[in-house]
Structure formats: C-alpha cells, structure tokens
Amino acid sequence: MSDTLAPVKPGKLIINGEAVDAASGATFTTMNPATEQPVTTVAEAGAEDVDRAVRAARAALEGPWRKMRPADRARALHKLGDLILANADEIARLETLDNGKPIFESRQIDIGMVAGCFHYFSGWATKLTGDTVPVNPAFFTYTLREPVGVVGAIIPWNFPMIMVGWKCGPALAAGNTIVLKPAELTPLTAIRIGELAMEAGLPPGVLNVLPGKGSVAGEAIVKHPGVDKVSFTGSTEVGRHLMKTAADGLKKVTLELGGKSPNIVFADADLEAAMRGATTGIFYGKGEVCAAGSRLLVQRSIYDEFVGKLAERAKKMVPSDPLDPKSRLGALVSEKQMKSVLGYVETGVKEGAQLVAGGQRQPVDGKGWFVQATVLAGVDNRMRVAQEEIFGPVLAVIPFEDEADAIAQANDVPYGLASGVWTQDVKKAHRVASRLHAGTVWVNTYNFYDPAMPFGGMKASGFGRDLGAASLDEYSQVKSVWIQME
C-alpha cells in the first residue's frame, strides 16, 4: 500500500467550538479497510456529551447564530466551502483511509460536492423570505420563515464527508444549529470539517460533531428533548426505529434510506453508453451507494450480448490500492460488510443466478476487505438478490420483454430511491420516467448529483429531500403573524 504520509492525529469531539475528549474518556479505533490496520483513535461520545452538545447548540441558536445577519451567516458558510477546497488533499486522504474508497473519488468527486454544498446553500441564507398575505384591510398579515431549531443529524459511512454537506448546508443556511453524529466506521472527515467550521467563523455551538456508537450517541441524540428535528441517512431498519423513537418527542424527521434501483436498458439505446452507465452505476463507490443501479434490467432481444460484454468489462475492474490515483475499485468499508456482500453472492447462486464475473474476495498486497466487481446474470426479480439492498459491487441483471414489463419489474421492490433509463426514443424516455416509483430518474446517464438538485426517496427509501431548494423546507417552518390595523 502506498500510504507513507504523516500519521493521522487522534480525533476529538467538537462541542461548543472546542475539540474535547469524551466526558467518560472513552475512545475507539478507526480502521483502514484496505490494510486492516488502525488509522487512529477517536473520542467516543456518550449521553453526557450529547447533552452538552445539545445545550451548546440551543445556546447558539438562541444567541449568536440568531443574531447574526443572514449575509454574515452566508459569508461564514461560503468560507467553510473555501476552507474545504484549501484542505482538499488532506480531507480526501482521510476519507480514503477511513472508508477504503479510491482517492480519485474522494479527491475529484466528493470534495467538490461537499464544498459545493456549502457554497450553494450559503446563497440561500439571504433568500429565505416570508410573504405578505392580502387577507383583510383590517389586518396586516405576513409569514415568517424560521429555523426548526436544533437538528440532530445522523449520517452513514458510505459518503462520510458528502453527507456533512448534504445535512449541514441547508440546515445552517436556514438558521438551525446542529449536533452531527458520523458513522462509527468513518468519523474522521466530519471531525475535520467541524474544525474548519470554527476557522470559518461559525459561532461556537453551531456545528457540534459527536463520533460514537449509533446505539449510544445516536440514540441519545434522537431521544434528547432539546433536539427539534432528526435528519438521518442509513439503513431502512434503523430509519424505522429512529422514526418511532422521534415520535415520542413529536420531532420532525427526514429519512434517506437506501434502495434497489433499476437501471433499464432498452434495445434502442446507445449500447456503448448504456454499458458505461451500467458499470459505473454499480461499481462506483464499490457499490456502497444508496442510489447504486444494482438491478440492471435489459431488454430480452439484446440480453445475451449485453451481459457477455458487461462481464468482460467487470473482469477488467480489478480491486487496487485506494490511494493509487488510478484505482477505481477500493475496499469495502468493513469485514462485516464484505462478508455480508459475499453472502449475498452465494445466495444469488443458490437461487439460480449465474455468476458471470467476480464473486470473490480479492486482497491487495495480501490485505484488505476487497471484493471483485461481480455480475449475476439470469436473475429473476423475485430473488432476494433482486429485492434486498446488497450494498457492494454486485450487479443483478434481469431480462424484460417490453416497456410495460420493464416498468412493472422496475417498480416491483420495496424501495424507490433512484432509477436509470437508456433509450434513444425521447417519448419513451419521458413515459417511463413518469411511471417509475423513484425520487430520481436519470435518462441516458447515471449517478449525477448537484447541490441544486433535490435527492431523496419514495416507499421504503424514505421521505423528505436532501439538496436543492426542497431541502430548505425540511429545515424551516412557517409562522403566521396577524397585526390588527384598525
């Protein structure tokens, strides 16, 4: 492995503008999935730390953050975006060491997205307006758009730094304060961005970062009476549990919960482009991507030829050292995740699917939780590998007959996060896009995101939206004011 650079300093909690140890003194070790070696130790937040952070967030909300002119809030958020760009190499390296994803993705894609979120949402801080409403000349009636309050944000390990931007950008632009819990497996970039937030001039307590266990720090955040809203990205199972817990406090909830997204290739598509889209749709991010195009639906008339070429392409995508700029397939985030993914491959084969590429663990330099780019062909949409989120580099390829069959199979899963359509028939593209049960439809492309474009799910993929103007509704509320004029 090529990482001979500086050791990573131990991570602390960020509470009230200070990097501190946990009240209990507890720490945990974060591991490098590519080498199976420790990266560093990190302070482990408990309920007492959560309480301190929530109090700090409340004080900032009622005090300096509320009193700050929106233009100054905007400037601080924009500066945070600038500081992320200025420290891009360091942050990208931390992400790759912690998560195992190729440095190409951390440095060339993720950094731009997280900085872009702070830049884009900084512009909204000065543009969240209410209305004057013509009710009756006897009254002056208007609405105010106000923050929800203290936001508890709980984020996953697959896009650790991007999720900081997705949650904090709109929440802070709308005037909320935050207690953020990164995933235990990947806490380092959230901590680093929390440090940069202090440098950018965010008042103490506005952005608190609490690495720790979901079952301890995460639970404490969701249960804390001082938290007004819970914003979560992760598994459907935990999302369901958090919603029930949040119901006791009648907290607002936003859930973004994975998927089993159909990527549909019609026979009339530009097949070379569709092949590229099918490959990046599943193997980008090692397939640990909520919107991964993990079910490839291919029209029967081109199925055999398409699958043959796809398998050849997948076999050339060999796992490699994530710190090598040429790497395009890194290590899965943990041994547990690797075993779960390999278990699904076995399940698929037992269910009758044909393994036409990959399917094995493939260590690099004898180490690491790497899994080959895997293609299962001849999959029936009722099989478990077609219905359940595998969250790894495993593609299930399913044949379909015609447009109606493609739509029916595409929608026949519990999830509804994303989808892809490949066709040169523009009318068909619009027809299919309108019928898919998915929060995002990509036509003749896959896996594109922008801070301005809303993202979120339907059905078991959750509700509410990250990104875009729509996300600001999740983090603000409307107050009506009536003034008697006569």
> Residue 42 CB, nearest distance to ligand NDP (Å)?
11
- Residue written as token pair 């598994």: 235
* Token reading at 88: 């891009």
Which part of the chain contacts ligand NDP (CB under 6 A), choosing from 36-44, 140-148, 209-217, 402-410? 209-217
Q: Is 195 a catalytic residue?
A: no
- CB proximity list for 276: less than 8 A, separation 6 or greater: none
Q: Which of 95, 105, 288, 290 is catalytic?
A: 290
Based on CB atoms, which residue is closest to ligand NDP, 154 or 353?
Answer: 154
Strands (E), 314-454: 354-357, 374-377, 394-400, 415-416, 418-422, 440-443
The DSSP letter of residue 302 is: G
Q: Residues 13, 91, 154, 472: which binds ligand NDP (CB under 6 A)?
A: 154
The DSSP letter of residue 107 is: I
Kindly state whether residue 29 participates in binding ligand NDP, applying the rule CB under 6 A.
Answer: no
Q: Is 401 a catalytic residue?
A: no
* Pairing mode of beta strands 458-459, 415-416: antiparallel
Based on CB atoms, which residue is closest to ligand NDP, 98 or 256?
Answer: 256
CB atoms within 10 A of CB 410: 26
Partners of residue 41 on adjacent β-strands? 29
Based on CB atoms, which residue is closest to ligand NDP, 74 or 290?
Answer: 290
Partners of residue 416 on adjacent β-strands? 458
- Residue written as token pair 């990208």: 92
Which part of the chain contacts ligand NDP (CB under 6 A), choosing from 54-62, 121-129, 215-223, 447-455? 215-223
Kindly state whether residue 344 participates in binding ligand NDP, applying the rule CB under 6 A.
Answer: no
Residues in 228-267 that interact with ligand NDP by CB under 6 A = 233-235, 238, 241-242, 256-258
User: Is 379 exposed, middle or buried, given 0-12, 13-18 or 19+ CB atoms closer than 10 A?
Assistant: buried
x/- letters, 42..81, toward ligand NDP (CB under 6 A): ----------------------------------------
Residues in 172-201 that interact with ligand NDP by CB under 6 A = 181, 183-185
Q: Residues 30, 158, 254, 381: which binds ligand NDP (CB under 6 A)?
A: 158
Q: Residues 165, 175, 218, 322: which binds ligand NDP (CB under 6 A)?
A: 218
Residues 123, 129, 135, CA angle at the centre, nearest 5°? 165
- Nearest Cα neighbor of 317 from 346, 357, 344 is 357
Q: Residues 214, 262, 348, 399: which binds ligand NDP (CB under 6 A)?
A: 214
Please state, in angstroms and rounded to a whole number, the distance separating the CA atoms of residues 326 and 59. 47
* Pairing mode of beta strands 394-400, 37-43: unpaired
- Residue written as token pair 């909830």: 253
Based on CB atoms, which residue is closest to ligand NDP, 334 or 476?
Answer: 334
Kindly state whether residue 391 participates in binding ligand NDP, applying the rule CB under 6 A.
Answer: yes
The dihedral sign for the CA sequence 166, 170, 173, 175: negative
Based on CB atoms, which residue is closest to ligand NDP, 41 or 235?
Answer: 235
Please state, in angstroms and rounded to a whole number, the distance separating the CA atoms of residues 198 and 467. 23
> Residue 480 CB, nearest distance to ligand NDP (Å)?
34
Q: Which of 95, 256, 288, 474 is catalytic?
A: 256
CB-based contact 386:398 (threshold 8 Å)? yes
Residues in contact with ligand NDP, counted by CB under 6 A, come to a total of: 27
x/- letters, 276..295, toward ligand NDP (CB under 6 A): --------------x-----
**Where do contacts with ligand NDP occur on this chain (CB under 6 A)?**
154-158, 181, 183-185, 213-215, 218-219, 222, 233-235, 238, 241-242, 256-258, 290, 389, 391
Residue numbers annotated as active site: 256, 290
